[in-house]
Structure formats: structure tokens, C-alpha cells
Amino acid sequence: MKKACFLILRFVLFLLLFTVASGCLYMLFVDCTAITAGLKSSFFSFSAFAEGVVRFFPFSSILTLLLLFLSCIRHRNHSLWAAGIVIVLSVLVFVVFIPFSLRASPSGKAVSASTDRIVLTPGYFRKTSQGTFYFINIDKNYIASGVKVLPATAAANRIFEPFSFLKLELEPADTMRDVLISETIPQPAFFTFAVAVVNYLSQYASNLYNAGWLSYLSFAAIGIGLFSLWGISFFSSWPLLSALFVVNGFALILGVNYIITETALLDSFINVLIAYSGSLAALPFFVPLIINVLLLLFFSALGFLAWFLRYRRYAGADV
């Protein structure tokens, strides 16, 4: 019981930690996008911090649930009390915390920095979607003089194409942040993908929440899927390996939910289900609910099997 109560305390601590961390990281991200070569920028921005906290709160609280499962593994706390508390906290996250943050968060905006156009400074070679430029001078309306660097495959007797007082039609990606800086910090491809998944799921949750509680249940079904981590935590007697399984399981559950909600797979699956179960499958939360319940059953069964085999082999000894 004492161990189980500590779980609640840890939940609060982890949630605070993730909330502050997400705010700080978002603020740093916004800082970086605001930097222009040759100009100084500010570091502390409370508005960016607050935006980061609100925007990432659903993800922070889901991540806190992951840490809760890891904490159970670390303390070898597999009691029914602990399971009950994790269930209660999961319900709290999906029924109270996430809807609350969705209401507070600015809807319809993906995770990106400020949408203001920056002033590009002259005197640097910059790669843009239109090619590489060197501006001798450029104003805030992007009327510029300078040279354009021609690609190596272009006419052999030229490298530069000088131009003067030309109105540049730059893509938003070239003007939202300084390419010179964004090139300096290449984002790992899988991280970009992970951010896209988080973005999508946030948007998805927001849309469903705005459509009503019944629709929102299809997102909340992820909570059921996440409880399969409890089963996964029984996979191995080596806690570190169990932790690895749990982390990968967490990514898998989010990934599966991303796939079933994002792709056309959902539609075809619904059509098959309608054919077999009639109008029940047409309910918006039906498919995600079914998938997450299946995940829960599958991993719980596997976890039980792993525990049972160990128990039979070593008669309950932790070897």
C-alpha cells in the first residue's frame, strides 16, 4: 500500500518535471527559429514557455504514464494496488488532464515556432528553396540585389547570376527562420517523424474533443492500449530488459493508433467490420476501441505467459 501511494507522488513529480521540461524545450526551439545570422535574439520568453507547457501537456501526461510503468518495474511493484492506481491515474489523464489542456490550447496550430517572417541579413550565402543566394542588400519586403549561385550542372561558363532590386518570391520555409541557422542543427529524421506523429495525434485529439465526448472516446481508447504496458512489464526478469520492452511497447501503441487513425486503413477496416457487425462499427470510437482492447489482451496474455513460464521453471524465485 505504501509503495502504491508513492506511485501517486511520483506521478505528480514526473508530470511537473515533464511539464517544465516541455515548456523549456519549446522555448529553446522558438529561440532558435528567431535567430538570424548577424543579429542577437532574446533567450527567456515566458509566452513561448507557457505555449510549450499547454501545447505539450497531453503528451507530457501520457509520457508520465510511461514513467509510472517504468517505476513499477524499477521497484518490482506488481501489486494489485499499484495496478489499480495506474488505472485511476490513466483515467485521470485521459478524462481530466488531456481534455482540460485541449480546451486551453490554441487549436488548429501544429507544433512550429513563430509564424512571423524574419528579416534576412545581407552578406551571407543562403540556401533557399529557390537556390543559393548572396545578398548585397535586402529589405523587409525581400527586394534584393546580389548573386544567385547556379547549380554545378548549369552552363559551364558561369557560377553566379547577378541580379539587382529583384522582388524575391521566397517560400514560407525560407522566411520563417534563417536557413543558415536551421542548417546548423539538422533534425534526426526519426525525430522529425516522432514530432509529426505527436503533432498529428494532438490535432486528432483536439478535433475529436471539439466534436463531442463520444468522439473523444476514440482517442481516450489509447489509454486502454497503454495499459497493455502492464502486461509487457512481466516479459523479463531482468528489469532493464522489461524497461526496454515497455518503452518500445509505448512507441508501438502510439504508432498503431497513429496508423489506424491517419491512413485509409481505418476506412477499409470499418467497411469489413460493418459487414460483420452491422451499424455498431460505424460508431466513431469503435475501431480504435477494438484495436486497443486487442492490444491490451494480446500483451497481457503474453505477459502472463512469460510470468507463468518463469514461475513454473524457477518456482517463483527471481533468478
Instruction: Give me the residues that bind another protein (CB under 8 A), please.
Output: 25, 27-29, 31-32, 34-35, 37-38, 40-43, 73-75, 123-125, 132, 134, 136-137, 145-147, 149, 152, 156-160, 162, 164, 178, 180-181, 183-185, 187-188, 190-191, 236-241, 243-244, 247-248, 317-319
Least Å from the CB of residue 187 to another protein? 6
In whole angstroms, give the CA distance from residue 284 to residue 56. 25
Select from 133, 297, 157, 135 the least CA-distant residue to 230: 297
Nearest distance, CB of residue 144 and another protein, angstroms: 11
We find the least distance from the C-beta atom of residue 103 to another protein, in angstroms, to be 29
Asked if 319 and 237 touch (Cβ cutoff 8 Å), the reply is yes
Nearer to another protein by Cβ, of 75 and 117: the residue is 75
CA–CA separation, 83 vs 85, rounded Å? 5
Q: Which of 66, 87, 104, 88 is nearest to 202 (CA)?
A: 104
CB atoms within 10 A of CB 21: 15
- Rounded CA-CA distance 21/217 in Å is 28
Q: Which of 67, 224 has the CB closer to another protein? A: 67
275/319 with CB nearer another protein: 319
64 versus 77: smaller Cβ distance to another protein:
77
Provide, rounded to whole angstroms, the least separation between the CB of residue 314 and another protein: 10
Q: List % helix, strand, coil for the chain (3-state, nearest 5).
A: 65, 10, 25
The CA-CA-CA angle for residues 205, 290, 91, to 5°, reads 50
Question: Smallest distance, Å, CB 148 to another protein?
Answer: 11
Closer to another protein by Cβ: residue 130 or 248? 248
